């Protein structure tokens, strides 16, 4: 063999080795990127699982809060009805007391005497005294 063919064979071997090294490097880079992608995918799946668990917990808390809010609204409604009933009874009692005080006047204080005072007072009140009664107030609610 001649030196020129030997040198050309070495050059050819050197080029082939360079191509082999480049192919091996690309393969390593590809495997490294694939590993990175698999790692990222695993991280995303873990995040997704954690977020799903958090969402379930949040929805559960939301349902509990909505239930508590509904219960609070019902309790407030009952309390307002009770307060209105008490206030209605007190207003009715105050009206009755005012009427009793108006009717309790002595005959000397009214020019027409006791009988005239009671008769005219009932006439002055008319049917309006029925509106102020506690029984009529219960229909207002």
Closest CA to 120 of 135, 110, 134, 130: 110
With 70 as the cut, is the pLDDT of residue 9 above it?
A: yes
Q: Give the tens place of pLDDT for each residue, 11-51.
A: 999 999 999 999 999 999 988 888 888 999 999 999 999 99
Who wins on pLDDT, 129 or 34?
A: 34
**The pLDDT value given to residue 105:** 61
User: How many helices and strands (H and E) does the chain possess?
Assistant: 4, 0
Please report, in angstroms and rounded to a whole number, the separation of the first and last CA atoms in the chain: 119
What pTM was estimated for this model as a whole? 0.41
Query: In 62-91, which positions are buried (b, 16+ CB within 10 angstroms) versus exposed (e)?
Result: eeeeeeeeeeeeeeeeeeeeeeeeeebeee
With 50 as the cut, is the pLDDT of residue 136 above it?
A: no
Tell me how many degrees the CA angle 128-131-109 measures, rounded to the nearest 5: 45
Closest CA to 133 of 91, 101, 74, 97: 91
**The pLDDT value given to residue 32:** 87
């Amino acid at each position: 063999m001649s030196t020129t063919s030997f040198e050309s064979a070495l050059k050819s071997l050197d080029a082939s080795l360079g191509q082999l090294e480049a192919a091996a490097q690309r393969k390593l880079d590809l495997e490294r990127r694939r590993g990175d992608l698999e790692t990222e995918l695993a991280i995303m799946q873990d995040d997704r699982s954690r977020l799903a668990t958090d969402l379930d917990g949040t929805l559960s808390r939301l349902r509990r809060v909505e239930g508590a809010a509904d219960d609070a609204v019902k309790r407030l409604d009952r309390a307002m009805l009770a307060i209105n009933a008490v206030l209605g009874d007190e207003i009715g009692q105050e009206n009755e007391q005012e009427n009793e005080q108006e009717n309790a006047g002595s005959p000397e204080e009214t020019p027409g005497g006791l009988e005239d005072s009671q008769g005219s007072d009932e006439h002055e009140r008319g049917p309006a005294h029925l509106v102020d009664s506690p029984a009529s107030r219960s229909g207002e609610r």
